Structure 1
Amino acid sequence: MPLTTQDVDRFEVARPRLAAVAYRLLGSAAEAEDAVQETFLRWQATDTARIEVPEAWLTKVLTNLCLNQLTSARARRESYVGQWLPEPLLDGDPMLGPADTAEQRDSVSYAVMILMERLTPRERAVYVLREAFDYPHREIAQILDLTEAATQQIFHRATKHIAQGKARSEIDQAAARRIVEEFLAAATSGRTEPLVKLLTADALAIGDGGGKVPARAKAFEGAKAVATFMRGLFKPAPAKRALIGGSPEIHIATANGGPAVVAVIDGRVVGIMCLELAAEGIAAVRSQVNPDKLQRATGRWAAADHGPPLFHAL
């Protein structure tokens, strides 16, 4: 039975929320879009007149599609070239979803997206639905075909895992920008000492090139090691310009609600460096340079007013 205009409208109203759920579950905007499209196809193929609560039905279908995707993704990532990192989303991207509460903002932070990779697919689903979208445990139980008590236990376990790994603290945007400016000034100074002072003692730096762009797969650990790496990364060299196709413009931006450094060449985002801030300093620097995971960011960048670059690197 073909969908009515009302059926299509119902789905389109739900689409932004479904995409936001899928992104948090999968860590990939492209995979999230695929999951939403597959949900629409399921919606199209069902007798919508028999569905009492369309929102609940759509969420259940989408969540279970994502759970299947997460299970297969774990196997694929074992053969992924280098370190797999989530796809960062720039400020204002609707796929980031609700940001009204601290819990909602935190659930999509890059640091928490990294930590959610350690959860089982079911733990991740319960955590996202409860923490980011405030679904009651009764509804989560129906979505996942579990008992309410089971979802409460799973949520407690997932929350504990996330809390144990978090170094992030609430820092206002003005302070965050100042820290990033100091970080870039130190990284381009040619000296490691200023950088070491900005980093936590156990700071780490890692990148995701997907086998398409050179990136450090094994993390640099410790303030001195990270500072030395950053000093070398920002040191100008003709070979680097040739490798990436030019001299990138460097901007300060916000990705996944946190401070980020964005590198752009001819309007194309070629790298997003997400900084994880703690009370003691910068706890982690995670760089996404896999071009497949920067396509959405490039589209967002072209549509946004980002102002002039701080400087040209390399």
Structure 2
Amino acid sequence: MAELSTFEEYRTRLWGVAYRITGSVADADDAVQETWLRWQALPDGEARNPRAYLTTVISRICYDQLGSARSRRETYVGPWLPEPVVGDDRVLDPQDRVTLDESVGIALLTVLERLTPAERTAFVLHDVFAVPFGEIAEVVGRSPDSVRQLASRARKHVRATGAPRRSVDRGQHRQAVEAFLAAVTGGDFDGLMAVLDPDVVWRSDGGGKVTAARIPVTGHEKVARFVHRLTERGYDPERMAVLVRDVNGAPGLVFVDTVGEQAAVLSFTVGEDGRITGIDAILNPEKLRHLDLGAL
């Protein structure tokens, strides 16, 4: 039986791989558990390179999941956004801090939804985790040269979509989020306009479970008016807490009512000039059920 200590050494990396490939906390958790069961059944010494073996196993599990997930998302009501990771160290593997901003942000994960399962898997494994093409070939059942082409196509697609990049400065990012929050809670329309980029895009994922915009809202004036209307209708400071928390590795907002039964998670993309270029609002309760609202 393979050792638990070896598996635990790579658990954070494995979860990070699974989450980036699937965009789902629940699916990532299931994939890690399945990988552990397969590792546990492996005779001692069978895997000469545990890191490579475990990465291949969990990647294959996630690659297989993507097929069924893709068909479900084609019938999804409104925009599909990934399940958010709030204040969770599993996305903060020290080995991957260099690529964290681009690899785990809600904005980029949403762009990855447009790739084929093979392209997405190749992109995540090669561009984020530096897995050799030969090992990726075992996951997707292609030749190394074919995998190289998959990763190249995925990379070009990501660049072509203009996937937003976060500001390099974490402090600047947080400052923008706090300015947004102050404007929203203070009813400061001009302040809200000032912190939004002229071409800002608001996406909201209600999944047909709660009220949400089914198409993106674009432009700082439209977004500001949209947010202002939402605040007037639904924000009551006596029953709702708004918390600044890390969302997928960067400062974001979590809205929680006083009984902890409802929530909304907002992820922000901030440009180099300190203005918000993108807001992704996850409202679908099924995508938030993994959160321990009382502990936030």
TM-score range, shorter chain: 0.7 to 0.9
Quick check: 1:260–1:274 contact (8 Å CA) kept in 2?
yes
1:120-269 superposed matches below 5 A:
120-164=116-160, 165-190=162-187, 192-235=189-232, 247-266=239-258, 268=260
% of aligned pairs identical? 38
C-alpha displacement of 1:200: 2.1
Distance change (3 Å), C-alpha of 1:196 and 1:154: same
- SS for the counterpart of 1:41 is helix
Change (3 A) 1:8 1:270: same
TM (norm. structure 1) is 0.82
Listed one character per residue, the Cα deviations across residues 184-213 of structure 1 (whole Å, up to 9, x for unaligned) are 222234354332332222222121123332
* Cα distance, 1:211–1:194 mapped onto 2, change above 3 Å: same
Native 8 Å contact 2:183 2:191 kept in 1: yes
Instruction: Indicate if the aligned counterparts of 1:85 and 1:114 stay in contact, CA closer than 8 A.
Output: yes
Equivalent in the alignment of 1:286: 280
Q: Distance in 2 between matches of 1:174 and 1:160?
A: 30
Partners in 1 of 2:154 and 2:137 — Cα distance?
15
Across the aligned residues of Structure 1 and Structure 2, the Cα RMSD in angstroms comes to 2.5
Cα displacement (A) at 1:32: 0.8
Equivalent position SS for 2:168: coil
Query: Take 1:99 and 1:277, find their aligned partners in 2: how far apart are those partners?
Result: 24
User: What CA distance in whole angstroms lies between the structure 1 residues aligned with 2:62 and 2:101?
Assistant: 21
Partner SS for 2:192: helix
Distance 2:88 2:69 in 1: 27
Contact 1:99 1:105 in 2 (8 A): no
Quick check: 2:96–2:129 contact (8 Å CA) kept in 1?
no
| Superposed displacement of residue 151, structure 1 | 2.5
Give the TM-score normalised by structure 2. 0.87
Q: Which runs of 4+ in 1 moved over 6 A?
A: none
8 Å contact from structure 1 (residues 116, 162) kept in 2: yes
In structure 1, how many angstroms separate the alpha carbons of the residues matched to 2:198 and 2:180? 15
SS at structure 1 position matched to 2:207: coil
- 1:90 corresponds to 2:86: yes
Which one of the candidate residues 53, 60, 64 is aligned to 1:57? Answer: 53
Identify unmatched segments of 5+ residues in structure 1: 305-314
> 1:180 corresponds to which letter in structure 2?
V
SS of residue paired to 1:56: helix
What is the letter of the counterpart of residue 30 of structure 2?
A: D
